[in-house]
Amino acid sequence: MSKIKPSKGAPYARILGVGGYRPTRVVPNEVILETIDSSDEWIRSRSGIETRHWANDEETVAAMSVEASGKAIADAGITAEQIGAVIVSTVSHFKQTPAVATEIADKLGTAKAAAFDISAGCAGFGYGLTLAKGMIVEGSAEYVLVIGVERLSDLTDLEDRSTAFLFGDGAGAVVVGPAKEPAIGPTIWGSEGDKSETIKQTVPWTDYRNGEVAKFPAITQEGQAVFRWAVFEMAKVAQQALDAAGITSADLDVFIPHQANERIIDSMVKTLKLPESVTVARDVRTTGNTSAASIPLAMERLLATGEAKSGDTALVIGFGAGLVYAATVVTLP
């Protein structure tokens, strides 16, 4: 018989607060058109994107994360010292080690919180949220800070017509804490590594270091293949998340998909047959694709503008490089 005592975690977990940070520089499509042969009309019709934010030298991955996290902690009504773990999802922190999460935890003033980074692309927020829920229910932390943050402008090839207009920078954060009733549903997540070539870094860092290529690595993708996968396969995953939570689309108040492309969002809404009463996040129009940051940034904007309200039931789904995905139903803070 085991001598290990059972964990004393909370019965459930929920999102208690959300915060976001968008860089001060706003970049319209006209700037993108300086380096690619396209038009503002084409970019808007293909992606829905009108503007995006690009970080300056001071708006580092850590700095943006600290700003977003401070807002989330205040929104949750707790102090940084109460944070037991910091999870950061990013693909654009260029120091292999240490994890940027440790720097963020220190700058926020946590009491030596556990801190680590994860790399799950545009599904990273969902992965982090799932880990946070497990920590709280298991009892290893009472409050967990989950951050999605990217400086994708550093990984954008401005001469690549298929991706130059897509990416933006920013940070979104949520505080996850204990709850007395279910407020984060089961996560439907997974990976399809056989499709890893559809979204990838152009070359390994070692090729650049060794002088085998002169151009700094960037993110590239096969647009049509990604579009088909996202629309058809991710709609199925989203439905599975609704089923796992025990609700139907009629029970939803808000839909917050990864802000990859407005055409993908529109197609998913249609495939899922969401009622017109469901508020749909369309932060992509002015923020672009911010990968791991896109869902919390969109969530923060919906709550700030009043398009969504505390207590609403929301379906969130992230999907991207890997290919990886994660979907769940949450109660908004």
Q: Which residues are catalytic?
A: 122, 258, 289
Q: Using an 8 Å Cβ cutoff, are 175 and 17 in contact?
A: yes
Report the distance separating Cα 282 and Cα 259, nearest Å: 7
User: Count of alpha carbons within 13 Å of 171, Cβ hemisphere only?
Assistant: 33
Q: Comparing C-alpha atoms, which of 248, 279, 250 is closest to residue 265?
A: 279
In one-letter notation, the amino acid at residue 197 is E
Which helix or strand (DSSP H or E) is residue 89 part of?
strand 83-89
Q: Comparing C-alpha atoms, which of 88, 83, 116, 90 is closest to residue 17?
A: 83
Report the distance separating Cα 292 and Cα 121, nearest Å: 6
Report the distance separating Cα 51 and Cα 1, nearest Å: 61
- C-alpha separations of 45 from 40, 151, 302 in Å: 9, 25, 23
Q: What is the DSSP letter of 184?
A: B
Q: Using an 8 Å Cβ cutoff, are 69 and 104 in contact?
A: yes
Q: Using an 8 Å Cβ cutoff, are 128 and 145 in contact?
A: no
180-201: buried (b, 16+ CB within 10 Å) or exposed (e) per residue? Answer: eebbbbbbbbeeeeebeebbee
